[in-house]
């Protein structure tokens, strides 16, 4: 190879490397106070799509990986809350201290006043949780936390759940699965119904063979396009029906906050065991949906 050709090859290689690097999402670490504890909230971002993906549960590593890959491939923003147990393993619950006392909360039960009351925390700890939730909402949504960010048409939460088929039969009724949102019928008591109080209705797809894989939507208009792609879809009750006493309906989850504020919201729930391909398909469907809306 001539000197000049070699020079060109090197130049081309450098250009390709630069292009590849431009595709990598940038990672920004925000630190929010939860009482006396600092919590890292990571933001992965890349140009290409106006959407925010969010993972509140740090132990749901399959969902985290799928979301990071979606951002790298198609753009947008992925926000994850970091949480570790005493042994340093990724954890679902967030541990924190207020007034020197130790507490923990599920970071998907903190976004509404009723939900925070259901945590049964002392007043100072509840106030700390509210301050943290407000900061997070300001990051996830437009300033104020009550509407989508400019240009976005949909908010996407990503989760994994445990495998209902592996639970003891007696505990399956309280497991989170698509069937758990179906109201037991007078004529059929085989449906589980543990979460039916929060759902307006359920679409069970005959092309989905794992009841741990399903999508929760706050807006019934999102049902059609997702059902057409073969997913199980749960439509959450409308806002007015979520404002009831008790902790079973308004449980402080982000989907309830979204509904109260008319924010189109989808929650992608996938079996922690073997659901990775399904989660990618769900994210593909969501990105296609965003494209048709823009």
- Which residues are near Zn ion by CB under 5 A? 57, 60, 159
Using DSSP's 3-state secondary structure scheme, residue 283 falls into helix
CA-closest candidate to residue 51, choices 78, 73, 31? 78
Q: How far is the CB of 233 from Zn ion (least distance, A)?
A: 18
Our CB check for Zn ion shows the closer of 108 and 281 to be 108
Our CB check for Zn ion shows the closer of 85 and 183 to be 85
Q: How far is the CB of 7 from Zn ion (least distance, A)?
A: 53
Compute the distance between CA of residue 233 and CA of residue 211 in angstroms, rounded to an integer. 11
Our CB check for Zn ion shows the closer of 57 and 116 to be 57
Give me Rg for the CA atoms of the chain.
21
Q: How far is the CB of 57 from Zn ion (least distance, A)?
A: 4
Compute the distance between CA of residue 143 and CA of residue 91 in angstroms, rounded to an integer. 28
Our CB check for Zn ion shows the closer of 60 and 126 to be 60
Q: How far is the CB of 150 from Zn ion (least distance, A)?
A: 27
Angle at 256 between CA 252 and CA 260, to 5 degrees: 120
Q: How far is the CB of 92 from Zn ion (least distance, A)?
A: 7
Our CB check for Zn ion shows the closer of 196 and 269 to be 269
- Report which secondary-structure segment, H or E, holds 5: helix 3-23
Helix, strand, coil tally for the chain in percent (to 5): 40, 25, 40
């Amino acid at each position: 190879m001539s000197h000049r050709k070699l020079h060109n090859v090197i130049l081309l290689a450098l250009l390709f490397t630069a292009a590849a690097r431009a595709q990598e999402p940038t990672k920004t670490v925000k630190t929010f106070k939860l009482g006396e504890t600092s919590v890292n909230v990571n933001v992965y971002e890349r140009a290409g799509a106006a959407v925010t993906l969010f993972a509140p549960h740090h132990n749901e590593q399959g969902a985290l990986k799928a979301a990071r890959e979606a951002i790298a491939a198609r753009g947008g923003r992925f926000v994850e809350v970091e949480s570790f147990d005493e042994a340093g393993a990724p954890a679902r619950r967030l541990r924190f201290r207020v007034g020197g006392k130790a507490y923990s909360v599920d970071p998907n039960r903190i976004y509404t006043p009723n939900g925070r009351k259901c945590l049964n925390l002392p007043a100072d700890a509840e106030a700390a949780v509210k301050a943290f939730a407000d900061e997070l909402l300001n990051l996830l949504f437009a300033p104020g936390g009550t509407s989508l960010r400019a240009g976005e048409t949909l908010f996407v939460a990503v989760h994994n759940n445990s495998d209902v088929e592996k639970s003891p039969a007696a505990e399956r009724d309280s497991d989170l699965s698509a069937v758990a949102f179906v109201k037991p019928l007078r004529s059929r008591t085989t449906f589980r119904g543990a979460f039916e109080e929060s759902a307006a209705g359920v679409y069970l797809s005959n092309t989905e063979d794992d009841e741990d894989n399903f999508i929760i939507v706050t807006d019934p208009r999102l049902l059609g396009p997702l059902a057409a792609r073969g997913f199980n879809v749960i439509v959450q009750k409308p806002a007015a029906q979520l404002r009831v006493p008790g902790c079973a309906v308004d449980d402080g989850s982000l989907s309830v906050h979204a509904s109260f504020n008319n924010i189109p919201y989808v929650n992608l729930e996938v079996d922690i065991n073997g659901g990775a391909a399904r989660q990618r398909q769900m994210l593909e469907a969501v990105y296609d949906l965003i494209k048709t809306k823009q």
